[in-house]
Amino acid sequence: MSKISYLIVLIVLFCGIQNGHAQLQMLRDQGTGAPITANPYAGVKGSPYIGDFESGAIIFNEKDTAENIQIAFNGYANSLEVKVDGQLFAYSPQKILGFVISPDGRPELYRSGFVLPGLGENRFVQILEDGNYTLIKHKYKTLGNDPSATYGTQNAKAFNPAEDVFVAKDGVVKAWKTKTKNLEEIFGPDYAKVAALIKENGLNIRDEADVIRLFRLLNS
């Protein structure tokens, strides 16, 4: 290895170490979340997490983001769990603005602060499309009976995935429903434009990909 190549490797390694220290310092400066000392879900089948622990980003506010941090979204507790120096901590929606994870290999942005009907504002939600009309998905886990339990173990518990979709505009959040009267309520004076976009583009509003496309067209 030449001296120049060796120096480049040293610089890259040094920058990586410095970046790691900076990320940990940002976590501490922003106030590390509440420590998790034990597994409260012993004996429950499945996982409370949406995805697994992996490298992601924590958005503390509009200016401060910590990247390349080991995080996982606890969909049952509705908290972001973080591994720091071998310890596990949890951030609630009141403590951070959001985070980015990739449970299916593609980045997903989650934000807090939306007031969901019947649930309030203390929830993390996935941003499917952002703009004048914002399409959001509330992904979570419920704790119920294990549907695969055999006879004699009917009381076994399991985590089950669930999700709801909402539309946010001007600070008001409404549940996404596909009946005409619901669409009229959601979009108000923009309903005629929405109906035209659906027809012109052959969109199936029961298909998530088409709904996301509808909102992109509407916001463009």
Q: Do 107 and 212 lie in a common domain?
A: no
Domain membership of residue 213 as a residue range: 177-220
Element (H or E) spanning 59, and its range?
Answer: strand 49-59
Q: How confident is the model at residue 112 (pLDDT cuts 50, 70, 90)?
A: very high
The CA distance from 197 to 216, in Å, is 11
Same domain, 188 and 120: no
Residue 87 sits in the same domain as residue 122: yes
Q: CA 41, CA 153: separation in Å to the nearest integer?
A: 17
CA dihedral 106, 61, 93, 90 (to 10 degrees): 80
| 93 and 186, same domain (yes or no) | no
* Better-predicted residue by pLDDT, 145 or 81: 81
pLDDT at residue 150, as a whole number: 60
How far is the C-alpha of 25 from the C-alpha of 196, rounded, in Å? 51
Indicate if 204 and 107 belong to the same structural domain.
Answer: no
- pLDDT per residue as tens digits for the range 119-176: 888 899 999 999 999 999 999 999 988 766 665 555 688 999 999 999 999 999 999 9
> What's the half-sphere exposure (Cβ side, CA atoms, 13 Å) at 38?
3
- The reported pLDDT for the residue numbered 93 is 94
Looking at the structure, tell me whether residues 145 and 181 fall in a common domain: no
pLDDT tens-digit map of 6-60: 333 333 333 443 444 445 555 555 556 667 766 778 788 889 999 999 999 999 9
pLDDT(87) > 50: yes
Q: Are strands 79-84 and 65-74 parallel, antiparallel or unpaired?
A: antiparallel
The pLDDT of residue 199: 96
Residue 68 has pLDDT above 70, yes or no: yes
> What pLDDT does residue 151 have?
56
Do 64 and 163 share a structural domain?
yes
Q: How confident is the model at residue 196 (pLDDT cuts 50, 70, 90)?
A: very high
> Is residue 165 domain-shared with residue 192, that is, in the same domain?
no
Does the pLDDT of residue 198 top 60, yes or no? yes
Calculate mean pLDDT across residues 100-111. Answer: 93
Between CA 96 and CA 27 the distance in angstroms is 11
Q: How many domains does the chain have?
A: 2
Which residues are CB-neighbours of 92 under 8 A, at least 6 positions away?
33, 34, 78, 79, 122
CA dihedral sign, ordered 74, 101, 54, 98: negative
CA-wise closest residue to 21 among 93, 95, 84? 84
Q: Distance between terminal CA atoms of the chain? A: 52
Q: Which residues of 183-205 are buried (b: 16+ CB within 10 A; e: fewer)?
A: beebbeebeeebeebbeeeebee
98 — pLDDT class (breaks 50, 70, 90): very high
Give me the mean pLDDT over the 65-88 stretch: 92
Given a cut of 70, whether residue 208 has pLDDT beyond it is: yes
Q: Return the pLDDT at 13.
A: 33
